[in-house]
Amino acid sequence: MTEVTRIHQLFDQACAAHPDRPALTDWTGATLTYAALDALVNATVGDLRARGLRPGDRLLVVSENAAPVAILLLAASRMDAVAVPVNARMTGHELARITAHTDPRLVLHLSDVSPAARAHAEAAAARPLTLAGASLHVEGPFDCAPESVEPDADMTAVILYTTGTTGMPKGVMLTHGNLIFGGRSSARLRDIVPDDVIYGVLPLTHVFGLTSMLCAGLSAGAHVRLVPRFSAAATLDALQAGVTVLPAVPQMHAAIMAEARSRGQDRLDGLRYVSSGAAPLDPDWKRRAEAFYGIALQNGYGMTETTAGVTITTNVKGDPDPSAGHPLPGVQIALDETVGREPGTGEVLTRGPHVMRGYFRNPEATAQVLDADGWMHTGDLGRIDDLGRLHIVGRSKELIIRGGFNVYPPEVEAALNDHPAVLQAAVIGRKRDGGDEDVLAFCQLVAPGSVTAEALAEHAAARLSAYKRPTQIFLTGPLPAAATGKVLKHLLLDHFAALLADKARS
């Protein structure tokens, strides 16, 4: 068998085996077979060359989920170019900073997919063109220094910009080898087969969607339905119309179940595999989700710098295991207990073929997280139980110190999320005079007025030790979130500044 050194070769193998099977369904409802997708990718390679894209160049794509994104990613791979997919919903200032840092040869705005991409294109006075089977806008070609083209799988395939908590987001360089490993591992561990239909609402601009959804699906010859934006109602409809695999984050699952309750449904049939990522699972919440879906809810742990996957569960339905699971085959984990404050807890380290190449044009930041022995220092706090399963207890930077005790936000969030009126909770610490910290809880409710802060405080008090209980509980609307639905905790204080001010005056 020919060695696979480029991500498009995963697709090529599936295309050769299943040319007439559906590969992608676009947001428009149009479906491409593997053979039709292959033809569009080949045509796009020629069009990109005509526009000046060269091997080693960076191709920045501004969009939301749609078939042209996948087409451009595969075309870039065939050209030995580096794809830089970015979410169109970022602000003009954020996009300008990323564009300047990326130094791309071409910038493509998928303006017929995303109104936000169209707005960015108009602001940049980009030129219209037809490419990848869609009406787009283009900037460039610009003068730039291309990356060196490497014949093996160690060449950079994509640069993904992380959601930075402060300062400039970092460009994570993932190699073809990273994505090949991640895609194959995801497909194998989820038992994805050509008959599967994967609901593709996780953004392709994020590693979870790119690896566990697109690369895994196309490598297995499955059918991926791409959706630009999450809607609980639309997702629930799709899950009742042939979808078999749902990768999502806890906030999405909570919204889907709330939508089902509003329709008088307490159970959903038809899914073969459902997974949750980006946050720890509370056992009670996991039990309710499994009762709703009728199958086991699998959890996992990863980050952009580790091509999404580090650990994954393979539990049966009803297993109360709240962990993030065992390491993927070929992946190592360890703990640096000098970072933790409790015996058996430390910073999670990981090493293996999933670890990024580094941060684009940022060797200093790379050296801070990748050590000489190849270990990635994740910044997450965890423990490893007697069965070798990883439990994530929080971010090292989010650990709250109250009265000399450690308070891990996920534990407090789990207690609040256990209340039926709470859609999702986010907990942060806020320093006060004397060096201690308050525990602030922001709770997005299923419906306004469905519970009081006092009732939630009593609910939490029955589940948490005194030092873990929230100092203040704020009842809110939608929490600030990334495109994946992951709550951006560093924005909470600014986002709800007026609410905090009102609370301080009362």
Q: Are residues 407 and 375 in the same domain?
A: no
In a shared domain, residues 343 and 467:
no
Residue 449 sits in a domain whose CATH number is 3.30.300.30
Confidence grade of residue 89 (pLDDT, cut at 50, 70, 90): confident
337 has a pLDDT exceeding 70: yes
How large is the average pLDDT for residues 461-465? 85
**Percent of the chain at pLDDT exceeding 90:** 69
User: Are residues 374 and 467 located together in one domain of the fold?
Assistant: no
Higher pLDDT: 465 or 152? It is 152
- pLDDT for 305 equals 94
pLDDT at residue 415, rounded to an integer? 87
Paired strand residues for 476:
444
Return the pLDDT at 341: 66
Give the pLDDT of residue 191: 95
298 with 161, same domain: the answer is no
> Does residue 205 lie in a domain region?
no
The per-residue pLDDT for 459 is: 93
Q: How far apart are CA 504 and CA 235, in angstroms?
A: 39
Q: Among 22-36, 189-203, 406-420, whose mean pLDDT is lowest?
A: 406-420
pLDDT band at 165 (very low <50, low <70, confident <90, very high): very low
381-386 mean pLDDT: 93
Q: Do residue 450 and residue 344 come from a single domain?
A: no
| pLDDT category of residue 135 using cuts at 50, 70 and 90 | very high
The answer as to whether 183 is a domain residue is no
Residue 169 per-residue DSSP state: P
CB 192 within 8 A of CB 182: no
Asked whether residue 370 falls in the same domain as residue 260, the answer is yes
Query: How many domains does one find in the chain?
Result: 3
Domain range for residue 490? 400-505
DSSP characters over 104-168: -SEEEE-TTT-HHHHHHHHHTTPEEEEETTEEEEEE-PPP--PPPP-SSTTSEEEEEE---SSSS
- 444 and 412 inside one domain: yes
User: Would you state the pLDDT for residue 435?
Assistant: 60
* Amino acid identity, position 260: A
* Mean pLDDT for the stretch of residues 140-150: 94
Answer yes or no: do 243 and 381 share one domain: yes
Within-domain flag for 198: no
Peptide bond into 141 cis (omega under 30): yes
Residue 483 inside a domain? The answer is yes
